[in-house]
Amino acid sequence: MGLKAKIKILFLLLLFMPTALFAQWFGSASERINTLRIISDGDWERAPYITLDSNETIEFSFDEMSHEYHRFTYHIIHCDAQWKQSDLLESEYMEGFNGQPIDFWQNSLNTTFDYTHYTLSLPNNDVTLKLSGNYRVSIRENGKEVAWFRFLVVEDRHNLSATVSGNTDIDTHKAHQQVDMSVSLNGLTVRDPDKEIYTVVMQNRRFDNAVINPQPTYNSGGKLTYEHCRDLIFPAGNEFRRFEVVNMYDYFRNVDRVSFHDPYYHASLMEDTRHHAYTFDYDHNGRYLIRYNQADDSDTEADYLFVHFSLASEQLSGGKLYVSGHFTGGAIVSKYKMEYNTRTKKYEATVLLKQGAYDYQYIWVPDGETAGQTKPTEGDWYETKNEYLILLYYRQRGSRYDRLISTLEVTQ
């Protein structure tokens, strides 16, 4: 079998691998949809939220891997704090109608992979959102869902405060970080906090190890305090690894070589090793940026290439290893699972990605568990500059939906 035929088979295998294991910010149900992104109010680093009744917008985009036009429509679904569809009618949470087509699309230009870039912004001339809370955008073709995004609409309140420390109730300045936070109930009518207040704390926007509705340590009537709360102790991990492929002709950060095997490009990253100490780096806590440094428009001129990851290690038992970052949607995703090569004594994965700069890390998921671990591959070090996203929901007695009152991002 020739090299070109082998590459084609590899491409098809990658596309048809199942996608989601756990909850995620976005995902695709179609092998044709790639590079899903959410950009909040023009800031690619911001969490996926906009403020209710503001001028802020949120942009969703993806690539369909052909130059053929597809009539994709979008459907907005209001959800409760647990991401289940709420009982509200469409007319209660939005103005406008679902099923509108995505009108903005552009074909790629001078790329080895043909693709069409689709973009949707909310709110727009057809749709505005009336309530705060969790939302899901379903992208459909001929009535069938091919992709989805999750995002947040938050009210302009400031009911949260928090700090992060390496001095935890498990250890002191070693392997963990502890979040202490407080919820002010000022301006809210709360009779039963256990039923009316709901909080979520996410480390680097990951769903798999998010802490869901921990119990407060103290309730002073107008304030809920979460101190010495063991549920809010997180393994600290390490700084994210990074690589850049912003053109095909120069070697950039953590790239060993870029090669062209007709008809596609391949980037082999430097061999990674398991971390045995804290490794400082100016990372972006898992984010990624699509960029081709010679393009007028990276969205349509950046090319796709096969990125080859490798981690030198003895074979680990009792679980599976994944490449992870925001490009996976904040989740453990099966198509990014690594396979162990007994000949090279490395974990290896080949991932189809669009040119740009990416943060990534290796996450170990023990058999039978859903939360990934960093300790076996990255280590856990209290100095790590993690980012914690805190979400505060409120459902007043008699209400039919969960309001998202406040959000807060804090770092160690």
pLDDT digits (tens, 9 = 90+) for 158-214: 999 999 999 999 999 999 999 999 999 998 999 999 999 999 999 999 999 999 999
User: Is the pLDDT assigned to residue 126 strictly greater than 50?
Assistant: yes
Of 43-57, 65-79, 248-262, the least confident: 248-262
| Residues 300-313, mean pLDDT to the nearest whole number | 98
Query: Strand runs (DSSP E) across 313-401, as ranges?
Result: 319-324, 339-341, 346-354, 356-366, 387-394
**Assigned CATH topology for domain 32-154:** Immunoglobulin-like (2.60.40)
Of the chain, the percentage scoring pLDDT greater than 90 comes to 91
- Alpha-carbon gap, residue 5 to 33, rounded angstroms: 22
Q: Locate tokens 């995505």: which residue?
A: 102
Predicted TM-score of the model (pTM): 0.93
Q: How many CB atoms lie within 10 A of CB 95?
A: 12
Domain spanning 241-366, CATH architecture: Sandwich (2.60)
- Alpha-carbon gap, residue 214 to 393, rounded angstroms: 13
| Residues 92-109, mean pLDDT to the nearest whole number | 97
| Residues 109-135, mean pLDDT to the nearest whole number | 98
Confidence (pLDDT) at 44: 96
CATH 2.60.40-classified regions of the chain: 32-154, 160-236+386-411, 241-366
Confidence of residue 105 (pLDDT cuts 50, 70, 90): very high
CATH code for the domain defined by 160-236+386-411: 2.60.40
| Residues 130-148, mean pLDDT to the nearest whole number | 98
Confidence (pLDDT) at 412: 83
User: Is the pLDDT assigned to residue 82 strictly greater than 60?
Assistant: yes
Angle at 226 between CA 220 and CA 227, to 5 degrees: 105
In terms of Cβ atoms closer than 10 Å to its own Cβ (0-12, 13-18, 19+), residue 84 is: exposed
| Residues 379-401, mean pLDDT to the nearest whole number | 97
| Structure tokens that stand for 159 in this block | 């009911």
What pLDDT digit, counting tens, does each position of 237-282 carry? 999 999 999 999 887 899 999 999 999 999 999 999 999 999 999 9
Whether residue 235 is preceded by a cis peptide bond, meaning omega within 30 degrees of 0, is no
What pLDDT digit, counting tens, does each position of 2-33 carry? 544 444 444 443 433 333 335 899 999 988 99
